[in-house]
Amino acid sequence: MKPTAPRFMRAPLIAVFILAFMLLPADLMALMGFGANGVTFKILDAARYHAPDITSLEVEIIDSTDNDIFSPGRNFNVWAVLSPDSGIKIGQTLQADFSASKDRLGQISASLDPNTVVIVDDNPSCVEIPWSIWEPVSEYLPALKIVFILFWWLVVILLVSKKSTATS
C-alpha cells in the first residue's frame, strides 16, 4: 500500500510547498547580494566623524548600468573611510563601485569601495566636508531618551494628582 498524507493535511502541505518556492528567489538573492561597478554619483551632503574616523555621504545616483538597486535618481546614505587627502567635496560628481545588502526590515545598507573612487567633475562651487555638529550630542542621546519618557510621566502624574485642599 502506498503511503499517502491524510486528506486533511494535503491542502496545508501544498500551501507550504508553494510558499517554499515563493521564498526561493528571495533566498537566492540574499546569497547573491547586490553590486554595481562604475556608478556615477553626486555628493548631496556629507559629514565627517572623529571616532570612528568615518564619513557619512548622502549620494544621488546619476548614471549606472545597474537598473536594480543603484538606478539613476535614487538617493543613498553611504558610510566610508576616506583618507584626508582624497580631495572629496560636497557637490562633486564621482565614480565608484557600489555594493549593498538588505537587513530584516528591508533597509538597504549601501557601501562603496574607497579604492575605486574617481573624481569625474570638480568645480569651484564644491565645498569641504564639515565635521558633524551632532557628534558631541550623541553621547547624551540615551539620557535624552529617558528624559523624554520621564517628562511625560511627570506631566501625567501632575494631571492626575489630587488637588490639595485649601488651608483655612
Partner 1 sequence: MQEPTTKFVTDSVIGLSPGKKNNMNKLIGRYSNRNRLQVWFALIVFTICAWWNLHPLQFHLLDTTIFFSAAATEEFIRLFSPFHSIEGVSEIAILLMCVFVPTVLCIYFNKVGARYMASATFFWFAYAAQNGFRLFNGTIYRRPTLALIMFILSLLLLVIGLLKCLHNSEIADRGVFKGEIKETDPDNVEVSS
Which residue of 52, 134, 143, 152 would you call a contact of partner 1, by CB under 8 A? Answer: 152
- What are the cell numbers at 47? 559629514
Which residue of 11, 51, 52, 148 would you call a contact of partner 1, by CB under 8 A? Answer: 148
Q: CB under 8 A: which stretch of 28-36, 47-55, 82-90, 124-132 binds partner 1? A: 28-36
Buried/exposed code over 13-47 (b: 16+ C-beta within 10 A; e: otherwise): eeeeeeeeeeeeeeeeeeeeebbbeebbbbbeebb
* H helical segments located in 33-125: none
Q: Does 31 bind partner 1 (CB under 8 A)?
A: no
Q: Does 160 bind partner 1 (CB under 8 A)?
A: yes
Distance, in Å, from the CA atom of 163 to the CA atom of 72, rounded to the nearest integer, reads 63
Q: CB under 8 A: which stretch of 3-11, 66-74, 114-122, 123-131 binds partner 1? A: 66-74
Which residue of 2, 7, 8, 28 would you call a contact of partner 1, by CB under 8 A? Answer: 28
Q: Does 26 bind partner 1 (CB under 8 A)?
A: yes
Q: CB under 8 A: which stretch of 4-12, 75-83, 89-97, 122-130 binds partner 1? A: 75-83
Residue 63, helix vs strand vs coil: strand
C-beta of residue 55 within 8 angstroms of C-beta of residue 129:
yes
Could you tell me whether strands 55-63 and 34-48 are parallel, antiparallel, or unpaired per DSSP bridges? antiparallel
Minimum CB separation from partner 1 for residue 99, in Å? 14
Distance, in Å, from the CA atom of 108 to the CA atom of 58, rounded to the nearest integer, reads 14
Residues that bind partner 1 (CB under 8 A): 19, 22-23, 25-26, 28-29, 34, 58, 68-69, 74-77, 102, 105-109, 145, 148-149, 152-153, 156, 158-163
